[in-house]
Structure 1
């Protein structure tokens, strides 16, 4: 199969398949991937976790993990890269193909100073043999990515913010002026303004150098706003390819349609986000059928379950792997139209009930002689049955506030009252009051895997929380009820965290918090690490729990599109201070503070 994007021929991948040789036998990881990339072109590869997009990128960069083998062809300007020895890859990697990873803190050596990471890329170039020449070039490279403070070169990675660390990693990736940069989820862990800055830097570097860009991401807004063409991966197969504007306007595959509808719109609130049920299957489990058949509402066994459909050109430069696309395209278009038309809903009404949580003049400082002031006189309240969104960039103080509310941090000064109990200092509370507060307010964290004991089954984790709630009745019945409430079957009680997807782990974390029957949940970036479809599932779950349990939420996030879908009111926090507060739709449609306007302007253009 040939995908002809343009007359350029910088990178050509043909029928590339990836396999893992395990003691139990060969496992198929990806199948028959073919793509081309012209010099200066940009290509986004999108899909859920487990789709094979990152593994494909690593194959192109010669960085496959041990045990993974490749068949097919990868050519860089006619030179075959498949089968190259590592010494040959060393003359290509960095100079011709460079890679920028999702987490700069794992990409960079924690005991090497930031400048040394860039110097490493320069040492074998004659013009940078002297230390002074390398130092000058490091300063120039840092300035190129927006770091004008040359002293950053002497700092260690942990001394920088995530955004600053990603800039240093980008400077190192660009130090040899590569012809192709592969950016694997380069902004996923960053807040919206830092994400926008990193993407501007990438696009500027690409334009100035005539460099080609491969962007790996699950963020559809980012993919469509940053790249000319988009490849959609699913279960190890490319299932749709096309120019970004055309694919965004009229996707040909049901999976692409589902991804686009799962994305929370930043410009309006929808009653229910469209979510794709189920999860991505392993590639070798769907070798003889359409990989999306188990999750597709248009599946027809005779057509979809007899063989894996190939990628076929339906219109010029538009490819899809759906055998039913010609007959269902009208329904796909109608579904998108209906979803967009049904998007407008009445302005949410702020509850008039009394506040369950009341915060007044809260301050929190860290450090000794030169303290860092994380919170500076924050005041807010959360009403019964209300969702209050707390939005701001990394370092704004929003997580510190959440931790103060649940007793994980003790504020320096100020008041916290939870259901009538002064709770600023948990240690000073009487035992019965502390138990009552802990039962009233629970916290859900960004990374559920870090909060679950990997040695404990899901059932045991829930049983431990249920023992604290002192509920009557059989514990197994309560475990079954909790799992059902978060959309999981009782079979999950016997599973361990490592056996669950990210969305399933977060559902278990939510169930564990619900075990004590709380009135308030503090949700700290609970969907930021999830794929867009799983994110939609979890947001819909929060909405249903608020309705069924009359729960109140303090929803902490940097994603304004997400907060619009769930919050009744919004507090915008900047450098430890609340700078704007009001009804969600009012604040996002008519922001008054310059910082709020900056947050909104940084949101990538919608994909639909």
Structure 2
């Protein structure tokens, strides 16, 4: 038997800034065998990516390993000479970053970057780098490899850029691969392709993989073992399928219940209260790190940090009440609304948006229809989901509804008024009637304005609540509705978390009490706990204000939980629509079946075999 390729024993990492030190990773013990996959799961700030940084010794300034060992194939990575570490990284230890575009140089062509990487890891005598690059592209199922070498990263989709990075990572036949959230915010079909591809290459080369993700369901399908991290310390470690089907730690159970289901009976989402404790709080904390958020907490949990309890073979959990974990249950599902008698807020008929292009992959005459003859209705209080891969026309349809683009053909009515022409009076009417919440909360917020000013921007545009006192009062009302403290009004966006920023975006959209919200991928890339909080907030606000919503998302489980009806789009057309539960339970169109098959099942006993291309329906 061979030994572990990677082994951590009592590993501790601390922040050493100033006169004080703060714990970042504590008491980390694990071993990874060759050819196995270890999933690292937890919320943002749990320490998942810090483990990857520790392996590469690319820790931020002021961070250092203070205790324990971390060995790669018997060599201690902590005390390793810099030259030896550089020789390992990129060859024996490879990385796949979360953001594919950030992992590629925007000013160099794909060919230039492949050449540089292949020359660094070494070519066989007489081997041409271009031929080797084409072989690596073929291994990751990238068509037209010769043409790709001439392209720049911005000319390719996110899925293609990620596959290029996978080809580069596996080009050296590494012994250890660290994949840091490689599928976050990708379409479900692209996610399935990337995960399947990593598994194929891992089996081909016998590579050990650390797969970092916030999606416990995805990790359970592809990993051999899962380590659930909380505030820098392992909460639970065990065989993947056993851990997911019968979690022992309450945090693991809460993460599981915070994620909506894609099959089986619909249920509500478990909402984790508060936030993970910060570094300063952790230093002073005496008891369990999860105690302040745990539904099973007792007095003994507040006294000392819990030891690791044996649950089964190779399965441990840091909890003194593991027997109570199965008692944690999610609330009942919010019933779908009956909109038969509700007033229609939005109606669109034969909506079309065509672009004239010098070249198009779909039309010989240089015209591309981003939206093609779409019919859409939205009733009062109704949530309608729009799903499909990137390039299917979801965001283009949203831009037409909001009025950012003018349709080439078709008709749009808001509460019976025709606003298709999109003239000045129509735009003024839309501002009062419809608002949009954008995908990236960071880029949607002005970093130079305080939160109180941001959420009342619509008042400035419409001339309402003119006095500063009126706007301050309105900002306080909005912040209370979205669950932020009153003092958040004086903060700047940089002082808020990603989930809090998205709450601010929602508050700004609700400032003028619109009848319709258009939400474009607003929970994409967020932790499941923050996602559950936002979804619960949207349902609560609907009950209070009665607004309708077009909810654009690639996450089908989220759409199933939140939306009353769903529209499935493919290449600008609606290929299937209906009540969400009926469409998901019995999809009629092959493209819908392909999307649903690409989602990991809730039951780990079922084999995940995504139908990545059925009847020729695929975008890439």
TM-score (norm 2): 0.91
Contact 1:358 1:418 in 2 (8 A): yes
Q: Pick from 314, 321, 325: which aligns with 1:324? A: 321
**Per-residue deviation, residues 131-173 of structure 1 (Å, max 9, x unmatched):** x711111011011111021211211111001111100011011
1:365 and 2:360 equivalent? Answer: no
Residue 360 to residue 571, structure 1, CA distance change in 2 (3 Å): same
- Deviation of 1:128 after TM superposition, in Å, equals 4.9
Structure 1 vs Structure 2 CA RMSD:
2.1
CA distance in structure 1 between the aligned counterparts of 2:485 and 2:63, rounded to whole angstroms:
34
- Deviation of 1:347 after TM superposition, in Å, equals 5.9
Residue 607 to residue 539, structure 1, CA distance change in 2 (3 Å): farther
**Per-residue deviation, residues 336-389 of structure 1 (Å, max 9, x unmatched):** 4xx49x56x766534433421112222223454334432122221111111111
- Deviation of 1:307 after TM superposition, in Å, equals 2.9
Contact 2:254 2:328 in 1 (8 A): no
Q: Pick from 8, 20, 26: which aligns with 1:13? A: 8
Contact 1:61 1:98 in 2 (8 A): no
**Per-residue deviation, residues 254-302 of structure 1 (Å, max 9, x unmatched):** 111110110100114645311111111224422333111111122234x
CA distance in structure 1 between the aligned counterparts of 2:120 and 2:508, rounded to whole angstroms:
54
**1:442 — aligned with what?**
435
1:534 and 2:523 equivalent? Answer: no
Contact 1:128 1:134 in 2 (8 A): no
**Per-residue deviation, residues 378-432 of structure 1 (Å, max 9, x unmatched):** 2211111111110001111101111222122233332222223333343x232xx
Pick which of 136-145 and 398-407 moved more.
398-407
CA distance in structure 2 between the aligned counterparts of 1:468 and 1:126, rounded to whole angstroms:
60
Q: Which runs of 5+ in 2 are unaligned?
A: 360-366, 605-620
- Deviation of 1:129 after TM superposition, in Å, equals 6.7
Q: Pick from 514, 526, 540: which aligns with 2:510? A: 514
**1:80 — aligned with what?**
76
Q: What SS does the corresponding residue of 2:141 show, helix, strand or coil?
A: coil
**Per-residue deviation, residues 151-200 of structure 1 (Å, max 9, x unmatched):** 11211111001111100011011110101111000001210000001000
CA distance in structure 2 between the aligned counterparts of 1:193 and 1:74, rounded to whole angstroms:
36
Residue 377 to residue 318, structure 1, CA distance change in 2 (3 Å): same
Residue 488 to residue 125, structure 1, CA distance change in 2 (3 Å): closer
TM-score (norm 1): 0.93
Contact 2:258 2:270 in 1 (8 A): yes
Pick which of 224-233 and 272-281 moved more.
272-281
Q: Give the total of aligned pairs.
A: 590
Q: What SS does the corresponding residue of 1:543 show, helix, strand or coil?
A: helix
1:158 and 2:158 equivalent? Answer: no
Q: What SS does the corresponding residue of 1:487 show, helix, strand or coil?
A: coil
- Deviation of 1:50 after TM superposition, in Å, equals 0.8
Q: What SS does the corresponding residue of 2:371 show, helix, strand or coil?
A: strand
- Deviation of 1:17 after TM superposition, in Å, equals 1.6
CA distance in structure 1 between the aligned counterparts of 2:273 and 2:186, rounded to whole angstroms:
27
CA distance in structure 2 between the aligned counterparts of 1:363 and 1:406, rounded to whole angstroms:
14
**2:387 — aligned with what?**
391
**1:265 — aligned with what?**
261
**2:487 — aligned with what?**
491
**1:29 — aligned with what?**
24
Q: Pick from 170, 175, 197: which aligns with 2:171? A: 175
**1:293 — aligned with what?**
291
1:124-523 map, 5 Å:
124=120, 127-128=123-124, 133-150=128-145, 151-268=147-264, 270=266, 272-287=268-283, 288-301=286-299, 303-325=300-322, 329=323, 331-336=324-329, 339=330, 342=332, 348-366=337-355, 368-370=357-359, 371-426=367-422, 428-430=423-425, 433-468=426-461, 470-471=464-465, 474-523=470-519
CA distance in structure 1 between the aligned counterparts of 2:478 and 2:337, rounded to whole angstroms:
28
**Per-residue deviation, residues 50-86 of structure 1 (Å, max 9, x unmatched):** 1110111121123222332123211111111113233
Q: Which runs of 5+ in 1 are unaligned?
A: 1-5
Q: What SS does the corresponding residue of 1:154 show, helix, strand or coil?
A: coil
1:40 and 2:38 equivalent? Answer: no
**Per-residue deviation, residues 7-35 of structure 1 (Å, max 9, x unmatched):** 74111111222222323633322212111
Q: What SS does the corresponding residue of 1:580 show, helix, strand or coil?
A: strand
Pick which of 147-156 and 181-190 moved more.
147-156
Contact 2:37 2:209 in 1 (8 A): yes
